[in-house]
Amino acid sequence: MAIPEYKRRGNDKYNAKCDRISARPMKPVGAAIRAAAAAAGQSVQAYVLQACIERMTREGQPLEINTPD
């Protein structure tokens, strides 16, 4: 089934605002992260992003960095 053009445009617009960061943990670590995310009732992405934000906050790192457009 083809994706409607309006949906594809909306997806493209959203994806243009997003960054992609990849992690490749060893399988046992990945399984532990997936299990922890499920136990917290979160997706893996939400769980990992929340963990990063909490650590950045603890360490006094800015959550947003201004870059020239």
Tell me, what's the pLDDT at 63?
79
Tell me, what's the pLDDT at 68?
55
35: pLDDT strictly greater than 60: yes
Question: Residue 12, SS3?
Answer: helix
* SS percent in the chain: helix, strand, coil, step 5: 60, 0, 40
39-45-48 Cα angle (round to 5): 75
* Per-residue model confidence as pLDDT tens digits over 4-19: 999 999 999 999 999 9
pTM: 0.76
Question: Which tokens belong to 33?
Answer: 């992260």
Tell me, what's the pLDDT at 69?
52
Q: Mean per-residue pLDDT for 43-67?
A: 89
67: pLDDT strictly greater than 70: no
